[in-house]
Chain A
Amino acid sequence: EAGVTQFPSHSVIEKGQTVTLRCDPISGHDNLYWYRRVMGKEIKFLLHFVKESKQDESGMPNNRFLAERTGGTYSTLKVQPAELEDSGVYFCASSQVDYGYTFGSGTRLTVV
């Protein structure tokens, strides 16, 4: 089966611009998660979808971040407007049960 796909793999944008990251989970996985690692620090949870519903968005840093999951399939994470501190690697994962994630290869976001 295909794995979790994220794109773009790398995005370089200017401060103040908007960027949208996309994650395609493994087909049939109801659970979809976003994590990020910024500035070489620890990897932190952002949010969790069950199908199209946000189950837990406690890790979203502020209202510049908006996540959606259309029809319970792919998910997007929009950052608007992007700030320098948003630079990092954004990971998406999916799972069928509550654990046993499969991670995507990540999107490296650079805000200049």
Chain B
Amino acid sequence: SQQGEEDPQALSIQEGENATMNCSYKTSINNLQWYRQNSGRGLVHLILIRSNEREKHSGRLRVTLDTSKKSSSLLITASRAADTASYFCATVPTGTYKYIFGTGTRLKVLA
């Protein structure tokens, strides 16, 4: 089964609103990362949160990690049309090296 699962699968909001995406995973991890993929293009690394961290901020991004619930959330504040993309969480299960990506959330920000 999928290690990382995001929800919602798709999200459509108005420019200026906040967008929240959630990610759940199944095993213990070293860290969790969030990536963005613009339509058919490369992966852009957004933020990394380590397993001993609970919250991290970077610009308009806020990531939380709850290892007891094996879940993470990504909040994008004051969204812009340019934020339209697919967002993925990626985990590295403890003792491994493979990134396990979630199914992704397709975010559409309407101008």
Contact = CB atoms under 8 A, between A and B. Distances in A.
A70 to B, nearest CB: 22
Interface residues on B, range: 20 to 34
Given A42-B102, A42-B103, A43-B88, A98 B40 contact: no
Given A99-B30, A99-B92, A105 B41 contact: yes
B43 A106 contact: yes
A69 interface: no
Contact of B37 (A37, A45, A48, A56): A37
A86 to B, nearest CB: 15
A105 B101 CA distance: 17
A108 interface: yes
A100 to B, nearest CB: 8
Contacts of B90: 43
Interface of A: 6, 31, 33, 35, 37, 41-45, 48, 56, 89, 91, 93, 98-99, 101-106, 108
B99 A105 contact: no
B40 A91 contact: no
Contacts of B2: 42
Interface in B11-56: 30-31, 35, 37, 40-43, 45
Given A33-B98, A108-B40, 9 more contacts: A31-B97, A42-B2, A42-B103, A42-B104, A48-B98, A91-B43, A99-B31, A105-B42, A106-B42
Contacts of A33: 98-99
Nearest to B3: A42
14 contacts: A31-B97, A33-B98, A35-B99, A35-B101, A42-B102, A45-B98, A48-B97, A98-B96, A99-B31, A103-B42, A104-B42, A105-B41, A106-B42, A108-B40
Given A98-B97, A99-B97, A41 B103 contact: yes
